[in-house]
Amino acid sequence: MPSCPDGDYPHGDSTEMPTVFNGPSEILDNIGEDLGTSDWLEITQERINTFADATGDYQWIHVDAERAKQGPFGTTIAHGYLTLSLVNYFLPQLVTVENISMGVNYGLDRVRFTSPVPVGSKIRARGELTKADEMKGGAVQCTVRVTIEIEGSDRPACIADAISRFFPTE
């Protein structure tokens, strides 16, 4: 869960600002808090192709628009791992932790890809602070459940529990 030390809102032009915690210890008092939603992001074929180039995953359901028309989804779809990678794009739109020396992405727990993301879809993230524990030296490790929603769909694309650690200023 990256944090912006200068307080700048890093992506999009949302009217909804991220939830702000004034230091790691404040996270501990807010377990269960709804962190709201991010901006919508359109998933373009260019983004899918760039991800394929970065990962070497050129499966036709992602990169071959003509063949994909005849396939199970009727069009190309985003890679599941592309959708998951966008958690890092959306998190700063959901939450900011101020007065820290650093924040690090610690990992992920339970990840599920529950619905494909067709090219041209718009997705956004919804966040919930599900867990927080104090660590050595006043650091706090927290888990944010990130649900990637698809505009117009009842089913989310991805649900992932993102784990981050925040270290207090010295």
pLDDT tens digit sequence for 33-80: 999 999 999 999 999 999 999 999 999 999 999 999 999 999 999 999
pTM over 0.75: yes
CATH class name, domain 19-168: alpha beta
Q: Residue 2 has what pLDDT? A: 42
Of 6-20, 89-103, 119-133, 140-154, the range with the lowest mean pLDDT is 6-20
Q: List, as one string, the DSSP characters of 40-67.
A: -EE--HHHHHHHHHHHT---HHHH-HHH
Domain boundaries, the chain: 19-168
Q: Residue 15 has what pLDDT? A: 53
68-77 contacts, C-beta under 8 A, 24 or more apart: 73/116, 73/118, 74/118, 75/118, 75/119, 75/120, 76/45, 76/48, 76/118, 76/119, 77/48, 77/116, 77/117, 77/118, 77/119
